[in-house]
Amino acid sequence: MGYLGGFLVTLAQVGRRNKVTLEYSGGRENKKGKPQRDEKAPKPERLHGRHVLNRYEDGMEKCIGCELCAGVCPAKCIYVRGADNDPENPTSPGERFGFVYEINYLRCIHCDLCVEACPTEAITESKLFEFSFLNRQDAIYTKTELVVGDDG
């Protein structure tokens, strides 16, 4: 076909005013049952999103620092360091609590194995999945960012 044939194809498309690209409206049309561009689609029931550390109703942490979640993680993105509980002012109901708890979301593959391994259901995954990091240090979520308050 050569150069001349390709040039003729281009001229033919310009003559038709790029029918293919004019028909596509960028998803802005309201199609039957489809959400608008600005609306978020409903999330699946089994979505694996951002991890959260839960508390009991009385405010004590559920994490007992057993490090099972870190041991089962295939990506090695969880770092847990347990410490002994203070008998006068306990942090969790067990003998130990999670003193350091960090998750590196640059490594996390959201496999949900850490949730399955936790004996006290301290770590769960929420439906929040929109992450944005400006540097690598922001991608490491510490215990203060993971612990859920009373409002959820």
- Read off the pLDDT band of 152 (50, 70, 90): low
Provide the pLDDT for residue 6: 72
- Read off the pLDDT band of 67 (50, 70, 90): very high
Provide the pLDDT for residue 74: 96
What pTM does this model have? 0.70
Chain-wide mean pLDDT for the chain?
82
CA 89, CA 137: separation in Å to the nearest integer?
A: 32
List the domains of the chain with CATH numbers: 51-146 (3.30.70.3270)
Provide the pLDDT for residue 70: 95
Residue 38 has pLDDT above 70, yes or no: no
Residue 40 has pLDDT above 60, yes or no: yes
